[in-house]
Amino acid sequence: MTSPRSTPLRERHEALGASFTDFGGWEMPVRYTSDLAEHHAVRTAAGLFDISHMALFSVRGPERDAFLGYALAVDPAPLKLSRAKYTMILAPDGGIIDDLIVTRNAEDQFLIVANAGNRDAVRDALRERLAGFDAELVELDDALVAVQGPRAREILQQTSGLVHDESLAMGHALDTLPYYAAMGMRFRDSTVLVSRTGYTGEDGFEISVDADRVGELWDALLSAGEPFGLVPAGLASRDTLRLEAGMPLYGHELSRHVIPSQAGLGRVVPLSTKAADFVGRSALESGARADAPVLVGLVSDGRRAGRAGYPVRDGEDVIGEVTSGALSPTLGYPIAMAYVAPGLSAPGTELTIDVRGTAIPATVTALPFYRRTT
């Protein structure tokens, strides 16, 4: 059995009192102090996350656009310099191998960010699909950290050593960087890529940096963020934050057995605007079978939350299963995402969740559960 890998920040996490868990083959901090405190800090101020377990791939070469257009469910041609897009890599039957973010981070280059647990599957699929294209795929070993929360921009602006460099900025400034766009900056003597993206439902930034410099950047961010209420945050708070925001997690809401439309993500696949073929297209054009389950949100009263794997019932009939659930720290009541029979997916439908033998009433609701107001 292979031991979990550690990120370059492992010693810093230990010094901060982190508890660890195996996530996608990586030993990652699950919390530092309190799940709730870290969650609320991100909603009200900011949290600092180590996301160096994520997989990074660079794509270059004369036929990079054509390659990505075939390999992924994305049309890269309209993606201008610095712009990013959420997309997927699909199996031939339309099942989801992984969900990704693709950024045109140079005129002649794309950056792909994939989930840690799918690193091998994504790499293998991309390499296989590279055949016949004049393009190059390189796996990167850069580290990633994320600053998420309403004070995130202020914290980056106050971070010692992180400075604007016009030659790297791709026409942007930090105070006007659009959502789902990236810019290069200088951190001391290193180049970093700052992307206005995240997985919490809050504003924020994800920063790619050389692995041997990430410790210095982590320290500088913590120091700059302390007056603003920044705290280090682990996977437990990241999970409740993304659940409130209705963001899917691979292995829970997304899998090889689900096509994008079932997960409410048909909009991210450009069937109507992308003329070129891509792997999985014909399966998506055929669509899911009529009785294929679809993803919904569920809300309940009380304090008992449905968890992943709990049955969802209509009367005595099991009609679905919870994929993620928790007592929402922000909203104060139980929330869950679940796959249910399509005939019972309309908002307002009354169902129950079997919580360890107790039928807890739950109402279907539109996602997301939480949306930031600014």
pLDDT per residue as tens digits for the range 50-108: 999 999 999 999 999 999 999 999 999 899 999 999 999 999 999 999 999 999 999 99
Task: Report cis status (omega within 30 of 0) of the bond before 368.
Answer: yes
Residue 63 marked ligand-binding: no
CATH 3.40.50.300 for domain 1-245: no
CATH T-level fold of 246-365:
Elongation Factor Tu (Ef-tu); domain 3 (2.40.30)
Where, residue-wise, is CATH 2.40.30.110 in the chain?
Answer: 246-365
pLDDT 10s per residue in the chain (374 long)?
Answer: 578 899 999 999 999 999 999 999 999 999 999 999 999 999 999 999 999 999 999 999 999 999 999 999 999 989 999 999 999 999 999 999 999 999 999 999 999 999 999 999 999 999 999 999 999 999 999 999 999 999 999 999 999 999 999 999 999 999 999 999 999 999 999 999 999 999 999 999 999 999 999 999 999 999 999 999 999 999 999 999 999 999 999 999 999 999 999 999 999 988 877 667 999 999 999 988 899 999 999 999 999 999 999 999 999 999 999 999 999 999 999 999 999 999 999 999 999 999 999 999 999 999 999 999 87
Where, residue-wise, is CATH 3.30.1360.120 in the chain?
Answer: 1-245
| The overall pTM is greater than 0.85 | yes
In sequence order, the 6+-apart residues with CB closer than 8 A to the CB of 158 are 224, 225, 228
- The pLDDT value recorded for residue 373 is 83
In sequence order, the 6+-apart residues with CB closer than 8 A to the CB of 357 are none
The closest of 291, 319, 152 to 229, measured between CA atoms, is 152
